[in-house]
Every structure is written in structure tokens, then in C-alpha cells.
A = this chain, B = another copy of it.
Amino acid sequence: MKLAAVGSVAFDAIETPFGKTDKIVGGAGTYISLASSFFVKEQSLISVVGGDFPKDFLALLQDKGVNVSGVEIKETEKTFFWSGRYHTDLNSRDTLVTELNVLGDFQPKVPALAQNASFLMLGNLSPAVQLSVIQQMATRPKLIAMDTMNFWMDIALDELKETLKHIDVLIINDEEARQLSGVYSLRKAANIIRAMGPQILIIKKGEHGALLFHEKNVFYAPALPLEEVFDPTGAGDTFAGGFMGYLAAASQLDFETMKRAIIAGSALASFCVEKFGTERLLEISHTDLQQRMQEFVTLSTFQLEA
């Protein structure tokens, strides 16, 4: 098993300026696995759902090479539910409902088949839970990446700092990077955060692209200006899943490969936001993805000399 990922599998109900959904399948783990499945034929998803979760969605993941034996099903309980409303600028949102349900006391169990995965993606969960996943690995993965959020910086900063010591890649947004480092300059923030543990920092900036920091290197990945952005939900997790999937399938882990992985993640995220939930990720082909990645080349290529 090349890749293991832990993250929520959930129901979301979403309102954006462009429309509204009933309960649809969402969750960080879902988006991560769907995105990485474009590059990795076999992977393991570690999560928990309630008896109300549609079995056919788990079957769909399985069809895409996502081993779901690590997704615990608590038949008598309910799946994690989140409902939110995006503001006009789509960069901010209000949470309307959070029902933790099965996620409230989620203790991920890494199945034996995933304990030797060479790539581990830790979706946004409490830092203590993320650490427990690392500790269950039989061998230290070649690359451990994690997402987190300002909520954990507010209420569990010490645990977060402990978990950061054990990972290689931290993937957060610009606001979170500023909060975690305490400085405004993202270049300074990168140095401060990298001194906490992760040698690689990725700062997601939504419609403004992403920054990759490693040693003295910086890469600015653009975001594709889109005709329509319907729903940003899952874009960050899709980005992370695409990034890790690309790396897990690559033969090297140098900076140039990481850049390509960022473009892969950005391209998948650019699809994700075009429709509600996972809908667009489920309908695009590998050819669509390759064409979209090529658009990123066209979008950002220039030469200083004529």
C-alpha cells in the first residue's frame, strides 16, 4: 500500500451565492482519497461513519482503488454532519450546524495493510488523533503530510506543536500560517513554521494559488481563474490529496517533483469547485486532468528574453 490517509467522511449541506444542497457526501477523507485516486491505484482510507452513510458511496471509493477496510461503520450512530453558508466572496463562510456524531470520539485504527504505507496524509483532525495515527505505523513513512486549522491553534497548540515534530509537510492556508507563526510575512512565517518540524510548508491561498517552501526554495503556483466557482468545499482537501497522490506515484521527492505535485493538486482543486461537493471529481477523466495541468503551464509561463 503506497498511500494511507486519515480524515472525516461526512455529510455536508452547503449554501453558496449560487445555490444550495441537501445533505451530500463530503469530508476531508473523502476528498483526499478521491483526488489521490487519480494517481494511486491502491490506497487506504481511515475514517468512521454512522449506519446512515450510503454503502454505495463506500463501494464507489473501493472501485477507485480506495481500500475502505479502515473506515469503521458504527451502525447505531450517525455520520458527522456539517452545514455552512459561504459569503459572496467565497473566501469566508459561516458554519450553520456541526453535529460531530461518530467523529466525536473518533479513534482511528490503522489497518494492518496500511501500516507500512510509504506516504501518509493526515486530514484535519485533532493533533493528538493525528499523532496517534503516526504512532500506529509499523515503519516510518517516507513522507508524512498533514492539514490542520486555526481551531487547533486556539485550543490545542501544545499538542499541535508536538505532532508537527513528527511530520514532513504541513499544508495550511495563509491566515493559519500567520496565526501559527505569529508573523505577517509569509516568507518569515515559513522559516518559523519549518523550525517547528516540517521541512516542507505549503501555504494554500484559495483563488490566489499556493506557495511551496523547502529550504531556500520558494515556488508560487498560480490558481486558474475560473468561469464559475460554485462551491469551494473540499478544495483544500482535494489539493492535499492530489499533491500526495502525485508524490506517491512519482519516483522522486525533489523540489521539481514537489512543484509538479502542487500543480496536480491545484488542477484537481480547480475542478472540485466547479460543481457542488464531489460531483465534478467523480465525472472528470485522466485526460481532463492532464489538459487542466497543461492550462497551468500556459497560464504561468513567461520568458524574460524575447
Contacts and interface: CB of A to CB of B under 8 A. Distances in A.
A151 interface: no
A208 B205 CA distance: 8
B256 A306 contact: yes
- What 5 pairs across the A-B complex have the smallest Cβ distances? A208-B208, A220-B222, A259-B302, A187-B225, A186-B225
A155 interface: no
A164 interface: no
9 contacts: A185-B225, A209-B209, A219-B302, A256-B302, A257-B306, A260-B304, A260-B306, A293-B304, A300-B302
A263 B302 contact: yes
Interface in A279-306: 293-294, 297, 299-304, 306
Tell me how many chains of this kind the complex includes.
Answer: 2
Interface of A: 17, 88-90, 184-188, 190, 205, 208-209, 211, 218-223, 225-229, 252, 256-257, 259-260, 263, 293-294, 297, 299-304, 306
A200 to B, nearest CB: 15
